[in-house]
Amino acid sequence: MDHGAPLLAAHDGRRQPAHHNQHQPGDDPEDPRLLVDPQRLDEWIGLHGNDETERRKEQPQGDQASPDPIRRSGDPQQDDPQDDLDDGPQSSGGYPGHLGRLPRQGSSQAEASEGDAAQNDEDEASQTRHDLTRRPGPTVDDPIRGHMLMGFVLEFHFSPFSRAGSEIPTLRSPETRSPHVACHTCPVPPVVTTSSLTHDYGVVVALDEVSVEVPNGVTGLVGANGAGKTTLFRILLGLIQPTSGDVTVLGHDVHSDPLSVRGRVGYMPEDDCLPGEQTAADFVAYTAELAGLPSGEARRRSSETLYLVGLEEERFRYLGDFSTGMRQRVKLAQAIVHDPMLVLLDEPASGLDPQGRDQMLDLIRRLDGFGINVIVSSHVLTDIERTAQWVILLDGGNLVRSGPLGGGGDLQSIVVDVVDHAAAVAERLSSSGLRVTVEGTRLLVEGASGDLEGDITEAVAATGAGLIRLVRGSLSLEDEFLAHSTP
């Protein structure tokens, strides 16, 4: 068995988010430490399916040279401690939430020094007791975690809707996004690929030669005119055959094999779609059974996912009695109950009041943390800005843009709010060649300086003004959308 081909643990489409940023030196395809060898992907998928346990059993005992598990590639010291600190909810919401994230800070350093003698049997043992080894976090195969889990483990349990929540920053500039930057140069297969996808309903053209690659992570889908996005979702699920063009979802061609696509995709429709006469638990369990889960498992997972989305004893009430917010949560629960690799969310926050909206967006970010890829479609651009890392803009069936959030704008300007002395600050800055516009206590600074922020801080400190806001701005999603869309 050739172990020369390391495989991203999430070869089945899930990603290890942290690794996108971790390019090994050189990125030499022959380098055995390369995180993913795309040519071997198919091979691995064919050989091992989705069963990670199986794959781990294949690893030779104590094979230090084996580059399989990502973290074992090279020295543990090379591991970027950064990677332990990010992941899902901690970086985006400010609280661990239902995931019960471990406090990875510091612990990995301690563990790292233990070396990575492959302790496969311990991993095995720990794995059966702790699903943590299968977390979509930094790595699934990390033997170090196996060690850690044998001992005393702290678990955080917070209400998913903690009011201590910090304000979710508007994702205007790339730096503030969680490190799940969709990396187009990373050799991770895109979740969805369409090529020249066209679909029309007679005269109305819903999609017109759309060729797009949807990366891992959370992708926002925005479009004027409802027909395009619903059509796209139905095409992705294999429910409609497009007029022309190809679509590949999670590596499967939708046209020839819609059923396997649907087995790994979840869908949250926009409209009312819940039967009033069943209880939430019963309904979600039924949808799990329809995805092929045996009854017992279906019931268990139904209970778990309903709990994860925040419904506790309401699970056993009839859906007819549910409020809008609860309904939306049930819809989300049924979309993830069968452990999909991709979920399609159609206006998930519609009808929700601001609090509910907050909570729903939070849940969506958490899906990202679970390692589930998401395509969210919404008309409310601020919602997209708060959840997505990649945005696809459709207008009248045409693809306007497909790119990272915030990537479409001009990053050369900075918004500065000061307490006072705005004019003095402005003067200082313009005297060093920057273009400054002043409006009251707000300055807009533009220029090609290498360190705009530094210059500004300097100027504010020198004038003794107080600094309230310093934000590198890009076009907001709405500005971009309006600029591109046909009036």
Positions 196 through 215 that interact with other proteins (CB under 8 A)? none
Cβ neighbors of 326 (< 8 A, separation 6 or more) are 280, 311, 314
Closest CA relative to residue 143, chosen from 206, 70, 251, 233: 70
Calpha distance 153→90 (Å, rounded): 18
Calpha distance 61→9 (Å, rounded): 18
Interacting residue with other proteins among 254, 381, 400, 436 (CB under 8 A):
381
Q: Are 210 and 398 in contact (CB under 8 A)?
A: yes
Both tokens of 191, joined, read 């979740």
Strand arrangement of the beta sheet that strand 244-249 belongs to: 204-214, 192-201, 244-249, 252-253
- Taking the least distance from each CB to other proteins, the nearer of 38 and 156 is 156
Closest CA relative to residue 428, chosen from 452, 451, 462: 462
Interacting residue with other proteins among 56, 104, 145, 262 (CB under 8 A):
262
- Give DSSP secondary structure letters for 3-21: --S---TTTTS---GGGGG
- Answer yes or no whether residue 419 interacts with other proteins by CB under 8 A: yes
Residue 201 region by backbone torsions, left for phi larger than 0, else alpha for psi between -120 and 50, else beta: beta
Cβ neighbors of 260 (< 8 A, separation 6 or more) are 252
Least separation in angstroms between residue 311's CB and other proteins is 15
One symbol per residue from 130 to 169: x for binding other proteins (CB under 8 A), - otherwise; what is it? xxx-xx-------------x-xxxxx-------x-xxx-x
- Taking the least distance from each CB to other proteins, the nearer of 197 and 394 is 394
- Taking the least distance from each CB to other proteins, the nearer of 165 and 187 is 165
- Taking the least distance from each CB to other proteins, the nearer of 34 and 326 is 326
Cα–chain center distance at 154: 25
Least separation in angstroms between residue 30's CB and other proteins is 32
- Taking the least distance from each CB to other proteins, the nearer of 32 and 103 is 103
Interacting residue with other proteins among 75, 239, 431, 433 (CB under 8 A):
239
- Taking the least distance from each CB to other proteins, the nearer of 30 and 131 is 131
Q: Which residues between 348 and 377 bind other proteins (CB under 8 A)?
A: 350-358, 370
Q: Which residues between 41 and 80 bind other proteins (CB under 8 A)?
A: 50-53
Both tokens of 98, joined, read 């239902």
Calpha distance 368→218 (Å, rounded): 6
Q: How many chain residues touch other proteins (CB under 8 A)?
A: 121
Least separation in angstroms between residue 245's CB and other proteins is 20
- Taking the least distance from each CB to other proteins, the nearer of 185 and 487 is 487
Q: Are 23 and 143 in contact (CB under 8 A)?
A: no
Q: Are 229 and 390 in contact (CB under 8 A)?
A: no
Q: Are 361 and 168 in contact (CB under 8 A)?
A: yes
Interacting residue with other proteins among 338, 363, 375, 404 (CB under 8 A):
338
- Taking the least distance from each CB to other proteins, the nearer of 34 and 335 is 335
- Answer yes or no whether residue 466 interacts with other proteins by CB under 8 A: yes
Three-state secondary-structure class, residue 337:
coil
Interacting residue with other proteins among 80, 379, 431, 432 (CB under 8 A):
379
Please state the φ and ψ torsions of residue 354, each to the nearest 5 degrees.
-50, -40
Cβ neighbors of 441 (< 8 A, separation 6 or more) are 417, 418, 419, 420, 422, 468
Least separation in angstroms between residue 393's CB and other proteins is 9
- Answer yes or no whether residue 128 interacts with other proteins by CB under 8 A: no
- Taking the least distance from each CB to other proteins, the nearer of 72 and 338 is 338
Least separation in angstroms between residue 50's CB and other proteins is 6
Least separation in angstroms between residue 337's CB and other proteins is 9
Least separation in angstroms between residue 377's CB and other proteins is 11
Q: Which residues between 312 and 331 bind other proteins (CB under 8 A)?
A: 318, 323-325, 331
Q: Which residues between 277 and 296 bind other proteins (CB under 8 A)?
A: 277-279, 282, 286-287, 289-295
Contacting range for other proteins; rule: CB under 8 A; set: 64-72, 90-98, 111-119, 195-203:
90-98
Q: Are 251 and 189 in contact (CB under 8 A)?
A: yes
Least separation in angstroms between residue 182's CB and other proteins is 19
Calpha distance 307→328 (Å, rounded): 14
Q: Are 37 and 6 in contact (CB under 8 A)?
A: yes
